[in-house]
Amino acid sequence: MTTGPLVSVVMPVYDREGCVAEAVASVLGQTYPNLECLVVDDGSTDGSLEVLDATFSDDPRVQVFAREHRGVSAARNYGIAQATGQYLTFLDSDDLMLDRRVERQLAFLHEAEVDAVLCREQQVVVGDATRPAWMERLPEWSDGYYHMSVLLATDWARQVGGFDEGMTVGEDVDFVIKLVGAGARLGKLDERLLVRRFLGDNLSHQVNDDVRETLRAIRRHRTRSRAARESGTSA
């Protein structure tokens, strides 16, 4: 028995054999039952694919796609293209969903009459790892809401063209900025529904302390908005 519209969860994976199974399990353990988990392996060189096959090959909710290494944005975009759900959200293979995340975000989306919704994150440092240096220097840039927690209609993700595959970091910020620029109403659910785990080699550790990539995303949006105003179209 299913309840409500199908939700697609897109998960990019690159060399995460030690934690990817736990991440997928957190998707399958959601209180909202009608979902699919689309795992896009971005050319892993470790045993990530073997772990996924051994753990989830018998679960029809999990689909695993193996591709050559092209980066996290390309992996997410491939997942967006494969999604069959009316709604879409994301989870990195480092992280975990708390069990009510999809249920609460989907309910908030309708109750608040918004097009996309973010939730708060809980940060966990694993072992001897540290938080990224830019988070320590600029705590105001991490206000507890996580861009990759966004839940939205799949059509919105496709309408804005998904993620910029030319960006190595900051692509998550750019994606949300594009949504808002295209007219999507963004809501924020003041609940911690995602565990963001820092292992020491997360992509977020590659962000420069001066957050140049994030500022670049903002500048790109301003350029798009200015061009749209001049042409009479939407950004």
Number of structural domains in the chain: 1
Q: In what order do the strands lie in the sheet with 151-153?
A: 62-67, 35-42, 7-13, 87-90, 151-153, 116-125, 186-198, 96-97
Residue 119 belongs to some domain of the structure: yes
Q: How confident is the model at residue 143 (pLDDT cuts 50, 70, 90)?
A: low
Percent of residues, the chain, with pLDDT higher than 70:
76
State the average pLDDT over residues 109-133: 81
pLDDT at residue 129, as a whole number: 52
Q: What is the pLDDT of residues 145-201, one digit of tens each?
A: 899 999 999 999 999 999 999 987 788 989 999 999 999 999 999 999 999 887 645
Residue 2 belongs to some domain of the structure: no
How far is residue 224's CA from residue 196's CA, in Å, rounded to a whole number? 31
Domain residues for the domain of 176 are: 7-231
Round the average pLDDT of the chain to a whole number and report it: 85
Of the two residues 229 and 22, the one the predictor is more confident about is: 22
pLDDT at residue 167, as a whole number: 85
Scan for tokens 């028995």, then name that residue.
1
How far is residue 141's CA from residue 55's CA, in Å, rounded to a whole number? 37
Task: Single out the residue of 47, 49, 45 nearest to residue 57, CA to CA.
Answer: 49
pLDDT at residue 13, as a whole number: 97
Of the two residues 22 and 219, the one the predictor is more confident about is: 22
Per the DSSP assignment, residues forming a β-bridge with 64 are: 39
DSSP at 28: H
Percent of residues, the chain, with pLDDT higher than 90:
67
Q: How confident is the model at residue 124 (pLDDT cuts 50, 70, 90)?
A: confident
Taking residue 201's Cβ as centre, other Cβ atoms within 10 Å add up to 12
Contact 153, 115 (CB under 8 A): yes
State the average pLDDT over residues 116-145: 67
HSE-CB at 131 with a 13 A cutoff on CA atoms is 12
The residues, any chain, with a CB within 8 Å of residue 232's CB and separated by 6 or more, are: none
Our CA angle for 62, 19, 90, nearest 5°, is 50
State the average pLDDT over residues 196-224: 56
How far is residue 139's CA from residue 143's CA, in Å, rounded to a whole number? 7
How far is residue 54's CA from residue 202's CA, in Å, rounded to a whole number? 25
Residue 1 belongs to some domain of the structure: no
Residue 159 backbone class (left: φ over 0; alpha: ψ -120 to 50; beta: rest): alpha
Residue 168, CA distances (Å) to 86, 92, 207, 230 in order: 28, 15, 9, 29
How far is residue 148's CA from residue 204's CA, in Å, rounded to a whole number? 12
Per the DSSP assignment, residues forming a β-bridge with 16 are: none
Domain CATH number, residue 149: 3.90.550.10
User: How far is CA 3 from its chain centroid?
Assistant: 23
Q: What is the pLDDT of residues 29-69, one digit of tens each?
A: 999 999 999 999 999 999 999 999 999 999 999 999 999 99
pTM of the shown model: 0.83
Residue 54 belongs to some domain of the structure: yes
Q: What are phi and psi of 8, to 5 degrees?
A: -95, 130
State the average pLDDT over residues 91-108: 97
pLDDT at residue 180, as a whole number: 94
